[in-house]
Chains A and B, each alone.
Chain A
Amino acid sequence: DVKVTQSSRYLVKRTGEKVFLECVQDMDHENMFWYRQDPGLGLRLIYFSYDVKMKEKGDIPEGYSVSREKKERFSLILESASTNQTSMYLCASSPPLGYYSYEQYFGPGTRLTVT
């Protein structure tokens, strides 16, 4: 079974702090994603990566950065946390691109509260 793990289930940080969210997958997947999910707004893609050291901006990259130094690990960084970044953060991974594939598997999520 695919396993995607995230470093914390719940996190409380103060405004202005630098926040690191880590995601690890054990299926040797090339592609990894960070989303945030808010009531009424659905899932929104922040950043994604389809190879080590590569990253691409999603729909809402402002205020975030990412790091992918190893294939299995994809980190999301909030450079200076703000209250509007309070959200559920979800990491996902998917196998190499095939024309009909691209199933994404999600980690358990990190509920981040910024006070």
Chain B
Amino acid sequence: QKEVEQNSGPLSVPEGAIASLNCTYSDRGSQSFFWYRQYSGKSPELIMSIYSNGDKEDGRFTAQLNKASQYVSLLIRDSQPSDSATYLCATRTKDYGGSQGNLIFGKGTKLSVKP
């Protein structure tokens, strides 16, 4: 069973700090990795995608991928109270659910940024 694991949290950080969210995955064949943000009562919103080892930066967000360790993380710099949400990690594995390949989601980490 292919899995994506995340610490459920809550992860609490003070405003202005760096929030670090982590995710591990079991399928070594995973090729694409995504981070979604989900506010309470809302649907998931894609915020980052990463496909190769290393770092990818977009504004205050940095995604980090280490395929050898099967580990992907999301760093949020200068955290704001508006970043308080649940963050879902997802991976695409090639043969899950058919030849197209679907996403497997973690259950999410709840982040709370305190003013």
Contact = CB atoms under 8 A, between A and B. Distances in A.
> A and B: partners?
yes
Interface of A: 31, 33, 40-43, 45, 48, 50, 56, 58, 90, 97, 99-109
Given A40-B107, A90-B43, A109-B42, A102 B32 contact: yes
A108 B100 contact: no
B97 A42 contact: no
Given A43-B88, A106-B43, A109-B43, A100 B97 contact: no
B103 interface: yes
A41 B31 CA distance: 24
Contact of A42 (B32, B98, B108): B108
B97 A105 contact: no
A45 B102 contact: yes
B71 interface: no
B98 A56 contact: yes
B46 interface: yes
Contacts of A50: 98, 100
Contact of A103 (B43, B49, B100): B49
A104 B100 contact: no
Interface in B26-51: 31-32, 34, 36, 42-46, 49, 51
Interface in B1-56: 31-32, 34, 36, 42-46, 49, 51
